[in-house]
Each structure stands twice: as C-alpha cells, then as structure tokens.
Chains A and B, each alone.
Chain A
Amino acid sequence: MREVLEGSQAVARTVARCRPGVVCAYPISPQTHIVEALSVMARTGELRDCEYVNVESEFSAMSVSIGASAAGSRAYTATASQGLLYMAEAVYNAAGMGLPIVMTVANRAVGAPINIWNDHSDAMAMRDSGWLQLYAADNQEAADLHVIAFAAAEELGIPAMVCMDGFVLTHATDVLELATQEQIDGFLPPYSPTQVLDIDRPTTIGTMAGPESFTETKYLQHLRFLDAADVVEAWSDRFTEAFGREAGGLAVRYDPDTLDRDRSAPPAGAEDLVVVAMGSVIGTLQEAIAPMRAEGLPVRLVGISAYRPFPREALKAALGESRHIVVIDRALELGSGGVLTGCVGRALAGTGSRIHSVVAGLGGRPILEGSLRDVIARALAGEQRGLEFLDLKTGGVPVPPVGATEVAR
C-alpha cells in the first residue's frame, strides 16, 4: 500500500516489523522521531516481546545493545553526530565481538561549531570501526535498507549502520510503500546468533588478545569483511526479487536518460563524465542530470549504497570505460578533500582516471540542482579544479538572513 509517511516513521515501522528484542536509545536530533515512534510502539504493544530501554547516554545505548545482542536478542539503536562519536568506543567493540546490531545513523555534522544539520562527517568518522555502512538515497530505501541490514548483519556476524541524511530524509514526508509484517516475516530469517551468553553452554566473550594473536584476529575480521560485499549484494538481490523494487546493493546504476534506478543499466562509456555520490543528493542529481542528458551531454550517475564494505569491483564495473569522475562528497577530510573521493581514488588507482572532488552540503547547506549542473558543466568543459566547495561564499563567514531558518543560499 502506498502511503504518505515521514521518513523516520517509515524507518521505525520497518524496524518494528523486523521484530527486535531490545531497542535502546538516547535522544539526539535528528534521530529523535525514529526512537520516539519505537517507544510508542513498545508501549502500545505494536512492538511485541521487545524491551525499549531509555538510557543516560549514547555510550550506554550501544553498551546495552552489546549486552542484548550477546544475550541472544536482535538489538537495534539509532543515533547521530556527537552521539555516534560519544559511543565510538562501544561501536568498535560491537564489531570486534561480531555482534550483529543494527543502528540507524541520522547523518548530521560534527561540531565545533555545533550544527544539527546534515552531512556525513559522523558516519565517516566511524568508517573503519568494522561496521557495514549502507546509505539511503531516499526514504523508501531508508526503510527497506533496515530489512537488508538485519539480514546481512546476522548472516555475517557484523553490525550494520543504515545511514540516512538527517532532516533531509528523517523529517521529510514522501509517498512510500512499507514492507508489511508478513513480507518481512517471510524474508528475514529468525535471529539465530552464533555466540550467546547461554547458561547451558557457557562461553567467555571479550577476552584479551595479546601480540601473538591480535594480528590474526584482525586478519580474520578483514576476510569476513571481504565476504560482506557478496552477502550485502545477495540480500539486496533477494530483496528486489521479493519486493519488486531495488534497495541496497553495492554500486547503484541509473538509466542514462530517465536517471531512474536500474540495475541492468549499461556501464558508462569512455566519453562519459560520471558523477559518483551517496545519500539523498542522489535524488537531486537525478533531477539535475536528466535535462543535461536531454541536451546530449555525456553525463552518467553512479550511486554508492554500501560505503562499507567499499564496493571497489562493483564501482569499477559501473564506471565501465569512463575515466572522468566527479565525486559529490558530504564529508571533508581536512587538508585533503572529500572522504568518499579518497575511497573512489583508491579503488581507481592505476586506471588513469581524472577525479574531481566536490564537497557539498556541509552542515545542512542545501544542495541545489543549479549548482550541481554548474559544477558538472565545468567538469565537462575541463574547467573544474581538483577540489571544490559547492556554493562556497568567499570573503569570510556570511551573516545569516534576518530571522528565518535559511531558505536558499
């Protein structure tokens, strides 16, 4: 059934239909609507056989999730920004212990200066924590990705973050079709953890590993992470077959002309400039690029859905013969450039590709179709520099307009 829903509500309902045993969270904008909705469902009984735990910090939210997961429950939490960094130690710990917790990250900038709006700095700070990171292009995918995340995380014994742009997606209302309870029950296998704190088969979890075994432990974690790309792709394919719509995957392809998502779209050609991006800017790019294609300009779009594991092979396959890339990046590696750009560059090492980094939308700066078209046109004309900040106002920090939340530039 297609219905009008806020992104956070869609995520909360889908998570509830995945039947978590423990949901634990600490409020932080823009994650709040998700956990508020889940707490309501836990009270009304819509979320059955589930404990909703209000804790005193994000650090404890992840720690409770660790305990719950280790005790045999499907565990879920959500956070953003400072909250993700506040729980950082436990984020790494969950991955090291192989606990398949699923966490929504309502992507938000990291201060100072304090800023509650969207960019990808928070999740990027956790890029090497050993979690899967799946990015939603829109609210339909944000909801659907949670089903895939639970399935892939539990098969792999690797926790998963579902990253959705704060406010831009979490607080936006769209026409969506949610996976029903029956569909999810038929799709998502019951939680059957590989290691549990079981009184009948006692086990010790979380031992100390010395220099003689730590490297091997990390190597095994690395090998498991290499498996993750196939597992994420397989669950995404199964999702498409079961639900009749694409979600997740590794590198996402788009029809050259309609710009609609299409996994059978051909790879880019040698003459094409390819725009690579991640998250909700994909939608704006679809609208920005379609008219350029109609004018005959050789521009293609490739999305990154799984940022971790980074889909090197899938990305190269989607890029095809193209050696000219513009990466739209929502996080900045200070002194270097876009964070995603660095990953794309490493994946394309030795291919002789020209890669431009466009840092856009930091701290909630709206990304405009016109600005994207402008930067793409300049790249096509060979006028674009290696690193650019989209719509950067020169001459110091601008004074905001009187009163309102900033509307446009």
Chain B
Amino acid sequence: MSTVHIPFLQTGTLAVGGRLLDDAERSVQSQADRPSSLTRGHRACQGCAEALAARWVMDTAVEAADGRLVVANATGCLEVFSTLYPESAWKPPWIHSLFANAAAVATGIASSLHAQGRDDVRVLAQGGDGGTVDIGLAAVSGMFERNDDVLYVCYDNQGYMNTGVQRSSATPPSARTATTPAVGRQPGAPQGTGKSMVKIAMAHEIPYVASATVADLRDLEAKVRTAMSIHGARYLHVLVPCPLGWGSSSSESISLSRAAVQSGIFPVVEARAGELTDVQRIRERMDVEAYLRPQARFAHLFKPGGEDALNRWRALAEANIRRYDLLGGRP
C-alpha cells in the first residue's frame, strides 16, 4: 500500500482526522483494537519523539505482519526506557542483546525462522543513531549486503542521548553536545562531518530505503507498510527530536520535525534497489532558522560570530533542495 493522499488540508498540515476517512484508510492508531506494541508504563522523557515513532512503526509492522512480528533492539534510550527489569513495555516478542549487534541478532532470528519453515513470521530490528550509524554500522552493512529478510529502523536523535548527550557521527555540524561544547573558534560539532545513513543504505542497493519524520505520521505508517510488503533487507531512517539532547521544549518535537523537512535540512525520500523513487516536496518553505532557533544546542549560531555557521546551514539546505529537487521545480 502506498501513501494515502488526503485532500483535506484545513489545518494546514496533513494531520487530518481519521474519522473523516473510510475504515480501510484510517491510521492503525485510530483503531480501537490497535496493537499498542509499545504500551503504557515506559519511562521515556516528555516529548520523546523516539517513543512516538517506535509506537507507530511497531504497531504498523505488527498489523502488516498479521501479529507475527519478532523484534531485536539495540542498546539505547528505547531499550532502557522500555525494559527495566522486571517490567517490559513491549507486547511483541522482543530481544535486546547488545549495542552494536541488533542487525546481526535480527539476522539470527530470521535465519532460525527460515530453518524452522516459519517464513510467515517477520523480523524487525531497531536502534538509535549510535547503534546504527556508529558502533553498529558493520553489522547493519553486513545484514544489508546479505539481503537478510529484516526491516531495520533507525531512530535518529542525532547523538548519544542515553549517556548524557555526546556527539555521534549523526550529530549535525555546530550542534552543542557534551563532547562538542559551544566554546572556542568553531563552537559545537565540527563542520563537514557526519554521515548520511540513507545514502549508505542506498549504496547497498537493498530492496527498500526510506526516511521519515514524526511530523507526518501517516507517511511514516505508509513507509512501514511498504517496507513490510517487501522481503529482503529494508531500511527506514526516522528523525526523532530529543528535547533533552536538543535543548528544545517537549511540546516542539513535531514542529521541529516539520521545520527540518520544510527547510530542506532533512529530505524525506524513498529508494528502491539503490535508485531514488520518491521525494516528499517542500509544501511551505521555511528558513533554517525555524528549525535551528528553538534548539538550545544551536543557540550560539544566533549570537555574534554565529553568522558563518548559520550560512553554512542555509547552504546545506540549498544543496539538499537541489539534490533531491525538494521544491519540485518551484523557485
């Protein structure tokens, strides 16, 4: 199933009420018998976009798999806030092994299920940017390269938030973290560093790669559904604002995600077998400032001396807009 195109734009967003749609088109979350895979009682922070994204991803995947889903989780916030012994907030069968090995554990599960003739049971692996882009990259790449039947979801909050907000290789330039403090001649994370996991995944030419945000949960849901309709290695990269790490208000996680997309900073794309197949166009272009200013980690950009770095952000957005044609030919 592809994206549900909804003509009602009365709120200025795509967040139209499910009650206006046919049952079949409604969000999984709007249903009374939704799976609630990540259920109440977990210990996520206020405004945690990772918890929100994980719930939508998991519920959609559980529904798409007809309830037959097994999950492997990397060490990180998501694991820590959901499974403090003797409690668990997960309804599906779920395993946490280590920080760097979620993709390989998922391969093991998929191999075991295949050997048992249980190809009806689907496997999902998930982790944060640290467990995916940094320490777990080798295992993720190995899983991609073998085209193992696993959907891997990275919840990217752009740093090691679980350990107190240190820099990861997904931390953007200029961002203040505990290990890239906003002091010195080039405050915050160094310029020109960080890597695009979406491009890395595409380079493996796996069947499906997509990015999404919590600003458009129907889009996230649709991408999970698309991914679940395909076998082989699949990758979904979700931007998840972290109020603690980003220094933003817990009420701003959705609006920051929207600003990241509408400013061109975070391209929302789909790719199949290494080829870009769909791009979410910018509907109402925003300046990068709309994304950066609400975040305390970028506060130094708006003080004297921050102009250069701010201009580099604008250049980054422009480059993304050009590369992915985010304006669709519009000026």
Contacts and interface: CB of A to CB of B under 8 A. Distances in A.
A/B contact in complex, CB under 8 angstroms = yes
Contacts of B69: 199
A348 interface: no
Contacts of A72: 112, 116
Contacts of B68: 199
A213 B104 CA distance: 28
B178 interface: no
B85 A209 contact: yes
Given A59-B101, A199-B67, A210-B84, A67 B108 contact: yes
B166 interface: no
A75 interface: yes
Interface in A68-97: 68-73, 75, 89-90, 93, 97
Interface string A368-407: 0000000000000000000000000000000000000000
B106 interface: yes
B97 A97 contact: yes
Contacts of B147: none
Contacts of A205: 94-96
Interface stretch (A49-57, A237-245, A307-315): A49-57
A207 interface: yes
Contacts of B113: 71
Given A22-B111, A199-B68, A203-B93, A64 B105 contact: yes
A71 B109 contact: yes
Nearest to B148: A53
Nearest to A199: B68
B111 A56 contact: no
Contacts of A199: 67-70, 92-93, 121
A64 B111 contact: yes
A66 interface: yes
A350 interface: no
B108 A71 contact: yes
Contacts of B145: 56
Interface string B142-158: 10011000000000000
Contacts of B93: 196-199, 202-204
Contacts of A63: 97-98, 101, 104-105, 107-108, 139
B143 to A, nearest CB: 8
A204 B83 contact: yes
Given A24-B111, A67-B109, A207-B85, A56 B141 contact: yes
Interface string B100-133: 1101111111111111110001000000000000
B108 A64 contact: yes
B85 A66 contact: no
Contacts of B86: 207, 213
Contacts of A204: 83, 88, 90, 93-95
- Residue among A50, A59, A68, A199 facing the most chain B CB atoms (10 A cut-off): A199
A73 B117 CA distance: 11
B72 A67 contact: yes
B91 interface: yes
Contact of B109 (A49, A54, A68, A203): A68
B121 A55 contact: no
A65 interface: yes
B95 A55 contact: no
B109 A208 contact: no
A207 B105 contact: no
A97 B108 CA distance: 15
B201 to A, nearest CB: 15
Contacts of A68: 108-109, 111-112, 115
Q: Which of A51, A60, A65, A89 has most chain B Cβ within 10 Å?
A: A60
Given A56-B138, A67-B109, A203-B93, A208 B85 contact: yes
B109 A70 contact: yes
Contacts of A335: none
15 contacts: A22-B108, A50-B115, A56-B139, A56-B141, A59-B104, A63-B105, A70-B109, A73-B116, A90-B98, A196-B93, A204-B83, A204-B94, A204-B95, A205-B96, A207-B86
Interface of B: 67-70, 72-73, 79-80, 83-88, 90-98, 100-101, 103-117, 121, 138-139, 141-142, 145-146
Given A22-B112, A60-B101, A202-B91, 4 more contacts: A60-B142, A64-B105, A64-B108, A67-B95
Interface of A: 21-22, 24, 49-51, 53-57, 59-60, 63-73, 75, 89-90, 93, 97, 196-199, 202-210, 213
3 tightest A-B CB contacts, nearest first: A67-B108, A63-B104, A63-B101
